[in-house]
Amino acid sequence: MKYNENTRATLLEKIKAAMSEKRFNHVLGVEAAALSLAERYGESKEKASIAALTHDYAKERSDSEFKQVIRDYDYDLDLLNWNNAIWHGLVGAQFVEKELGITDESILQAIRLHTTGASQMSLLDKIIYVADYIEAGRDIPGVEKARAIAKKDLDEAVAYETKHTLAHLIDINAPIYPKTIETYNRWVAKKN
Ligand code: GDP
Ligand code: FE
Ligand code: FE
Ligand code: FE
């Protein structure tokens, strides 16, 4: 697919129609942050833009739609025991592929991994994971520190975000998805 002003405008229209204004503004913030990281660390700006714009595309879908996709597309059925927080990326990529026609596997993977991270992450995966956390509209405690780290060392930014997200989830007694722990072990504890 050729990515030009026309295709971008069409994509933006579909994304805007799929979410609240607040979330759409978040998505635009993630795109700006991802483009800046792509420039700094040498990733394709086109891929960074498309992955950022689509990363939360499915977030406002109903639980029943996600459950249907999990069953119909042979996902691990353990996913049925989780919720939108985990589904909207991991399973949401399916909606992006089907409805927006995005087939680039590296983009789809960055969407899949944007919430939990993973032990193995490509440059694009890291950029989307970090951009989602540091975009200008975010007001998370410690976000200024995360922004400063992201300008110096992307792997360290992945570690910082992972540690703080996990600490927050533990603080509120949330269940931890195993992939989030894998991310912690690799990027924070630096376990081989
Ligand atoms: P957003 O979609 O832009 O709001 O951000 P994310 O996709 O990164 O995260 C969505 C939500 O999932 C946030 O509230 C995270 O704290 C939460 N989250 C991330 N990892 C886990 C996990 O392992 N378990 C649970 N229960 N929630 C998680
Ligand atoms: Fe998300
Ligand atoms: Fe995130
Ligand atoms: Fe997001």
pLDDT tens digit sequence for 142-158: 999 999 999 999 999 99
The finding on whether 175 has its CB within 6 A of some atom of ligand 1 is yes
Q: What is the pLDDT of residue 1?
A: 58
Query: Does residue 134 contact residue 156 with C-beta atoms inside 8 Å?
Result: no
User: What distance in angstroms lies between residue 131's CA and the mean position of ligand 4's atoms?
Assistant: 8
Q: Going by C-beta distance under 8 Å and a sequence separation of 6 or more, which residues neighbour residue 10? A: none
Distance between CA 127 and CA 38 in Å, rounded?
7
Residue 2 has pLDDT above 80, yes or no: no
Average pLDDT, the chain: 97
Residue of minimum CA distance from atom 8 in ligand 1: 115
Distance between CA 34 and CA 114 in Å, rounded?
12
CATH of 5-141, one of 1.10.10.10, 1.10.3210.10, 3.40.50.300, 3.30.420.10: 1.10.3210.10
Q: How confident is the model at residue 133 (pLDDT cuts 50, 70, 90)?
A: very high
Question: Considering only CA atoms, which of 91, 95, 89, 88 is closest in space to residue 77?
Answer: 91
Distance between CA 110 and CA 28 in Å, rounded?
16
Q: What's at 100, amino acid-wise?
A: L
The finding on whether 19 has its CB within 6 A of some atom of ligand 1 is no
Q: What is the pLDDT of residue 72?
A: 97
Q: What is the pLDDT of residue 111?
A: 98
The finding on whether 132 has its CB within 6 A of some atom of ligand 1 is yes
Distance between CA 13 and CA 7 in Å, rounded?
10
For the CA of 165, the closest atom of ligand 1 is 16
Residue 139 has pLDDT above 70, yes or no: yes
User: What distance in angstroms lies between residue 71's CA and the mean position of ligand 3's atoms?
Assistant: 25
Model ipTM value: 0.98
Question: Considering only CA atoms, which of 30, 22, 25 is closest in space to residue 51?
Answer: 30
The DSSP H or E segment spanning 68 is: helix 63-72
Q: How confident is the model at residue 189 (pLDDT cuts 50, 70, 90)?
A: very high
Percent of the chain whose pLDDT exceeds 70 = 99
User: What distance in angstroms lies between residue 6's CA and the mean position of ligand 2's atoms?
Assistant: 26
The finding on whether 164 has its CB within 6 A of some atom of ligand 1 is no
Residue 73 has pLDDT above 80, yes or no: yes
Residue of minimum CA distance from atom 13 in ligand 1: 85
Residue 3 has pLDDT above 90, yes or no: no
Nearest ligand to residue 27 Cα? 4
The finding on whether 115 has its CB within 6 A of some atom of ligand 1 is yes
Instruction: List pLDDT tens digits, range 79-111.
Output: 999 999 999 999 999 999 999 999 999 999 999
Residue 12 has pLDDT above 80, yes or no: yes
